[in-house]
Copies of this chain bind each other. A is one copy, B any other.
Amino acid sequence: MKAKIGILTVSDRASAGIYEDLSGKAIIETLGAYLSCEWESVYEVIPDEQVLIEEALKDMADEQKCSLIVTTGGTGPALRDVTPEATEAVCEKMMPGFGELMRQVSLKYVPTAILSRQTAGIRGKSLIINLPGKPKSIRECLDAAFPAVPYCIDLLEGPFLTCHEEVIKPFRPKA
């Protein structure tokens, strides 16, 4: 089974073409550096509208059958930031450990890491993870959280992800 990964950039300005979506690009590059198995990306850029985010997540999970969906943007405290709310609305299970770890990692760099409301959850057989908006933070967060992702996808009966282990080491506990 070829892995399918959704990358959802949530940004009013990137979706309006005001600036280039460097964050989505950074995610695709990072995943490309991590994964040694075959995979394809489903990529979309949308504005910070809760209904649109929910629809995109549902489409990537239910129709496109993405095993992993990562979002970037919309996790801060501002009025238009609603990505965590949209994520929670479409997930059956929440995974608080991802947000906790990513905030802890970012906190080593900036005290404003606590303003990030990133979360993660599961819809059907898809793991959805909110990443920060800035390319540098995206990499820091993925480096910390990704080692747990392949095993999570195993438990969701998805494709067996393999990694370039000199770049990132996935961990699978022995039964």
Residues of chain A touching chain B, judged by Cβ–Cβ distance below 8 Å, are 76-79, 81, 85, 93-101, 103-104, 107, 110-117, 119, 122, 127, 145, 147-148, 151-152, 155-156, 171-173
Contact (A117, B96) CB under 8 Å given A78-B155, A155-B77: yes
Q: Which of A81, A99, A114 has the most CB of B within 10 A?
A: A114
List, in ascending order, chain B residues with CB within 8 A of A100's CB.
Answer: 96, 100, 103-104, 114
6 nearest A-B pairs in the assembled complex, by CB-CB distance: A97-B114, A111-B147, A111-B171, A78-B155, A112-B148, A97-B103
Once the chains are docked, how many angstroms separate the CA of A111 from the CA of B110? 23
List, in ascending order, chain B residues with CB within 8 A of A172's CB.
Answer: 112
